[in-house]
Amino acid sequence: MVMKGTDMKIADTPSEGLTDFRIPDAYENWLEEEGVLVHETFYIPDMHEIEVGPWERKGGKGAVVHIDNNNMPNDLHVVDIDPGGKSEPEHHMYEINFYIVSGRGATTVWMDEKNKQTFEWGAGALFTVPLNAWYQHFNGTGDEKVRYIATTNAPPMMRLFRDENFMFNCPTMLESRYSGGEDYFSGSGTLYNKRIWETNFIPNAPDMALYGWKERGAGGINAMLNMGKNDMGNHISEFPIGTYKKAHRHGPGAHLVLLSGDSGFSLLWTKEDRSDMQKCDWKIGSIVIIPGDGTFHQHFNSGTKRARYMALRSGNGGFIAPNQRQSADVSIKDGGIQVEYTDEDVEIHEIFEAELAKSGARCNMKAFIPYCTGVEGVTEERNT
């Protein structure tokens, strides 16, 4: 039926005839129904110490960390498995990446009961379970709990479908995502384009090989990870003692997990004058979540050891199309999202040198910052 203009009544005032209509937030409703403990924060000082509570779906204790932002593309699950215990079998229509914080054990994955695949893991392992495949975790020790963190894209998926039965009981097994091959979780992989590593299982993320990424500055190295044919993507970066990376900004949701280094920090801000700048101190186990689109962030190694972090993120496998100018390698002056060293405010470097003084470390940024009081410890290629 076509409604003619004469069939419509125009409200005499802006408020007349209007009602408060809102689509229910399926993700928030799910969290409430789960009864799971929720932490709304973008900074976790130590992932070993996050408080957890009962979580029946996981068969033990857990918590969800997320930011109160409907545009957030992912969240973080923290789950403990008791000594000798196991999780409940589950499958779901959202992607998930696991990082083992502590303990050791095994995971079984299957699409049908007759063909199950089991692989073992320990602290530092990073892996994905294919979309909608069944899985179950087992604690392999009798005296130590297992703790893992997992990033998921549950928030947008739940808000898209708004059907919990579909999310957790969809019978369609996606063979294009998982064929059950014996080598699926073997830890083998393929290197593409010098630093893109395609794999489904990394046995020890804190020690895996990384590759040069001179565009990000100060001798940093990196590996972009393509896991499980996921839309979600991860990467691991490391930078030398007494250095820091260039500031940049991108969409929300990157979860930065500190894997090595004895001290350092991140700065986050959105305003041009940095009046809203926040400093997040980190150590091994700290997590910094980039909270919103357009949030500038910059990472600093102010300690006496190399610093490595893992970024668990979402969207397009974590990669940016070659023809897309909004890249972390391109200066904001050229339409990109990166602040070059020559364009950063002097205050940034002053903050860094003040932190170095606290730890007794030397600044190695003289090759990039002319007013640096330290030395030319690194150049574009890593050499320390």
In tens, the pLDDT along 42-95 reads 999 999 999 999 999 998 899 999 987 677 899 999 999 999 999 999 999 999
Q: Based on the domain organization, do 160 and 290 belong to the same domain?
A: no
The confidence score (pLDDT) of residue 120 equals 97
Q: Has residue 370 been placed in a domain?
A: no
Q: Based on the domain organization, do 250 and 164 belong to the same domain?
A: no
What type of residue sits at position 134?
Answer: W
The confidence score (pLDDT) of residue 323 equals 41
Among 194-203, 214-223, 242-251, the range scoring the smallest mean pLDDT is 214-223
Q: Has residue 364 been placed in a domain?
A: no
Q: Has residue 16 been placed in a domain?
A: no
Q: Which helix (H) or strand (E) holds 348?
A: helix 346-359
What tokens were used for 135? 């899985």
Nearest to 283 by CA among 43, 65, 66: 43
Nearest to 164 by CA among 33, 19, 331, 339: 33
Average pLDDT, the chain: 88
The confidence score (pLDDT) of residue 344 equals 93
Return the ∠ at Cα 72 (arms to 251 and 68), rounded to 5°. Answer: 125
The confidence score (pLDDT) of residue 204 equals 96
Query: pLDDT per residue over 332-357, tens digit each?
Result: 888 888 999 999 999 999 999 999 99
The confidence score (pLDDT) of residue 313 equals 85
For residue 5, the tally of other CB atoms under 10 A from its CB is 6
**Which residues are CB-neighbours of 7 under 8 A, at least 6 positions away?**
none
Three-class SS state of 376: coil
DSSP character string of 267-334: EEE-STT-TT-EEEEE-TT-EEE--STT-EEEEE--SSS-EEEEEEE-SGGG---TT-S--TTSBGGG
**Which residues are CB-neighbours of 166 under 8 A, at least 6 positions away?**
93
Do the Cβ atoms of 31 and 158 come closer than 8 Å? no
pLDDT band per the 50, 70, 90 thresholds, residue 2 = very low
**pLDDT higher than threshold 90 for residue 11:** no
Q: Has residue 378 been placed in a domain?
A: no
The confidence score (pLDDT) of residue 10 equals 43
Q: Based on the domain organization, do 76 and 143 belong to the same domain?
A: yes
Q: Based on the domain organization, do 139 and 83 belong to the same domain?
A: yes
Cα Rg for the chain, rounded, in angstroms? 23
Calculate mean pLDDT across residues 168-183.
Answer: 91
Percent of residues in the chain assigned helix, strand, coil, to nearest 5: 15, 35, 50
Per the structure, the count of domains in the chain is 2
Q: Based on the domain organization, do 116 and 216 belong to the same domain?
A: no
For residue 169, the tally of other CB atoms under 10 A from its CB is 11
The confidence score (pLDDT) of residue 299 equals 94
**pLDDT higher than threshold 80 for residue 380:** no
Q: Has residue 20 been placed in a domain?
A: no
pLDDT band per the 50, 70, 90 thresholds, residue 14 = low
Q: Based on the domain organization, do 267 and 330 belong to the same domain?
A: yes
Q: Greater confidence, 331 or 166?
A: 166
Q: Based on the domain organization, do 222 and 323 belong to the same domain?
A: yes
**pLDDT higher than threshold 80 for residue 20:** no
Do the Cβ atoms of 377 and 240 come closer than 8 Å? yes
The confidence score (pLDDT) of residue 30 equals 97
Query: pLDDT per residue over 277-326, tens digit each?
Result: 999 999 999 999 998 778 999 999 999 999 999 999 876 654 544 444 44
Q: Based on the domain organization, do 211 and 118 belong to the same domain?
A: no
**pLDDT higher than threshold 90 for residue 9:** no
Q: Based on the domain organization, do 252 and 289 belong to the same domain?
A: yes
What tokens were used for 300? 């600093």
Tell me phi and psi for residue 76, to 5 degrees: -130, 125
CA pair distance 138, 83, nearest whole angstrom: 9
Q: Based on the domain organization, do 131 and 245 belong to the same domain?
A: no
Calculate mean pLDDT across residues 198-214.
Answer: 90
CA pair distance 229, 316, nearest whole angstrom: 10
The confidence score (pLDDT) of residue 185 equals 93
Q: Greater confidence, 40 or 20?
A: 40
CA pair distance 133, 172, nearest whole angstrom: 9
Please report, for residues 196, 204, 216, the alpha-carbon distance to residue 226 in angstroms, rounded to integers and kept in the order given: 7, 16, 20
Q: Based on the domain organization, do 42 and 146 belong to the same domain?
A: yes
CA pair distance 104, 137, nearest whole angstrom: 10
Q: Which domain holds residue 275?
A: 190-359
Q: Has residue 347 been placed in a domain?
A: yes
Q: List the CATH number of the domain containing 53.
A: 2.60.120.10
pLDDT band per the 50, 70, 90 thresholds, residue 132 = very high
Q: Based on the domain organization, do 44 and 118 belong to the same domain?
A: yes
Q: Has residue 261 been placed in a domain?
A: yes
**pLDDT higher than threshold 70 for residue 38:** yes
Among 22-26, 86-90, 162-166, the range scoring the smallest mean pLDDT is 22-26
